[in-house]
Chains A and B, each alone.
Chain A
């Protein structure tokens, strides 16, 4: 067996390392559906990450939409619905071909879902060209043209803005802000720091700027905790999601700043991550537009139906997707007997208040995202498991 020299083996290694760093593994595969469809049937395309990093969120989004269809006779606005699901993968490179297939080949009347803000930005031109409305249920980047783009979730900077006043009133001293260095993190933290400073809050960070941690490679937050300790902060505000949220919370609970109150955007303790965090997440305060224990009729039936075929409670992701179906239900119903995509889009713009598990909300005329109430939640014991429990109302934000 020809063994190369050590130096060339090292070169191979370095090359492998570089290649690994550049590799984005992901694939877009589509779940099938029959072509055509009977008259009166309307095709809706759902694009969500069913594989890769955001699989957990993507699955919630698909399940939320399908739950609405299941509980409404598989009909939206009186029409039978043919739901075509496609995999968004890890982002734009896989999302665009999948969206193109839904729009050009399946000829859907409307598109929904999409986990990543980057995917939405990349798919937007394809939507504009095909003149198809998009009712997104998660990612929402800054876009110039939102004529056919609607979002049932939130704008990324609204989360932090909604809790800023509460933190200022309840923390006696300076607050340290820390978050991941990608666009979603920047938006989430900026929403908090801008509003917080505007209303007289003081940051404990050096030169008043949020501390950014490399994403996704940061798995060890202890060195940052040492800095927070040294800053003399009285509380911490943060945003993390997914695996980083698990690492952050678990390490925080065993660090020397474990006694500092932790406030966060709700994603820190939302969904499956809370189970992985366990005891470490107890007492964390977070802000979100939804909590499964909200006391209204819509929510009670939503949560009950969800629990029929899921182990845990629904997340805000599932709720937003459920609402996307509700939006399409109302709009298609209002758009006439045989609506075109343009008519559906127009009908969405004329919708009023929408009854939702999160409470009522409506689309902002400018941003096409919800004007909605945000809730303060705390991780508390709920039966045998820990869960996010609503402890108060925060600001109504949007537009």
Chain B
């Protein structure tokens, strides 16, 4: 079926789908990156194996999905549990170096990422894998005369719901309160008798679960392949740099911005595509060293310079 010949919305028309897709892509990055934000903001762990946790979810989707709805739920459950387990394992590995600096953590987790990547390739092979989503989602829908993948449209709704739940969990629950307290003053939280090792385990498990959910649900968009972990880690780190730590809103804003830069930005200026994302990141860092949302530092005394 051909789309209607006359553009419905005039000069904006060609950019409608890229703008919408930027939202889908941004929300995927939000779910993927929020776990990394938790790790770094709450447990102060720079987890370079975060992309691998996403990849575990994505490979789970490829292995289990068979085009039915039941298996989608099963895959989501298995993927979340598997990635959460891997996150817990990582917390165990990190325990001996808990008092060391970020470089040690980065080296350790990067090593785990390389080893995990090799294990995934050994288990699933070096090829990209197909992901069979339910047939009802495998088609396209027509929006204002444009064709768009049905799965991505549904994904926008599901990911927005996840974002809302995450926000409520952080803002309204006791665990969320602890999270916010740990971001604001970890030493004080430790003084109050909360075991840092337990925080580390809890945070890495939750981060793993979020990455696993992103991996299963995002597999039709950023699919399982040997390069998946690196891609997701890189984009997640950009989101964290732009969005700051400990604020769901900041992460959401940054993820949507990255999604739109990658989609709408590329459609507007395709020749600038190779450096668009990092140019935007450099500009944001130069103008606002604390990222798009500066609120995350609000309750903490300023010790360092403004850099």
Chain A interface residues toward B at CB < 8 A: 1, 3-14, 16-17, 20-21, 25, 51-53, 55-56, 59, 181, 211-214, 216-220, 222-227, 229-230, 242-243, 246-247, 250-251, 254-256, 258-259, 271-273, 275-278
Contacts and interface: CB of A to CB of B under 8 A. Distances in A.
Interface in B221-257: 221-223, 225-227, 230-231, 233-234, 237-238, 240-241, 244-245
Contacts of A3: 44, 186-187
Contacts of B187: 1, 3
A17 B263 contact: no
19 contacts: A5-B303, A6-B300, A8-B304, A9-B245, A10-B244, A10-B307, A11-B307, A12-B102, A13-B241, A17-B234, A20-B48, A56-B127, A222-B21, A223-B270, A224-B266, A230-B14, A256-B3, A258-B147, A276-B127
A10 to B, nearest CB: 7
B196 interface: yes
Interface string B1-29: 11100000000001101100100010000
Nearest to B231: A219
A223 B127 contact: no
B46 interface: yes
Contacts of B15: 226
A1 B126 contact: no
Interface string B255-267: 0000000111111
A223 B190 contact: no
A220 B263 contact: yes
B18 A222 contact: yes
Contacts of A1: 44, 98-99, 186-187, 190, 196
A114 B265 CA distance: 37
Contacts of A7: 289-290, 304-307
B125 interface: yes
Given A7-B305, A219-B231, A223-B264, A242 B128 contact: yes
Contact of A276 (B128, B227, B238, B267): B128
Contacts of B40: 9, 13
Contacts of A230: 14
Identify whether the interface residues of A are mostly helix, strand, loop, or mixed.
helix
A272 B140 contact: no
A182 to B, nearest CB: 11
B149 interface: yes
Given A21-B234, A222-B263, A276-B127, 12 more contacts: A8-B307, A11-B307, A14-B241, A16-B48, A16-B237, A17-B237, A220-B262, A223-B263, A223-B266, A227-B267, A246-B225, A250-B223
Residue from A6, A9, A56, A271 with most neighbouring chain B CB atoms (10 Å): A6
Interface string B131-142: 010000001100
Nearest to B99: A1
Contacts of B132: 278
B241 A55 contact: no
A275 B127 CA distance: 9
Interface in B89-124: 98-99, 102, 106, 114, 118, 121
A273 B128 contact: yes
Contact of A220 (B2, B25, B129, B302): B25
A181 to B, nearest CB: 7
A243 B227 contact: yes
A211 B221 CA distance: 22
Given A25-B114, A53-B226, A276-B223, A20 B237 contact: yes
Nearest to A3: B186
Contacts of A6: 244-245, 290, 296-297, 300, 304
Contacts of A227: 14, 267, 270
A363 to B, nearest CB: 31
A258 B146 CA distance: 11
A205 to B, nearest CB: 10
Contact of A55 (B102, B121, B230, B263): B121
B266 A278 contact: no
Interface in B29-52: 40, 44, 46, 48
B178 interface: no
A53 B228 CA distance: 11
Nearest to A25: B114
B71 interface: no
Contacts of A181: 274
A225 B20 CA distance: 14
A56 B129 CA distance: 12
Residue from B127, B241, B302, B306 with most neighbouring chain A CB atoms (10 Å): B127
B238 A53 contact: no
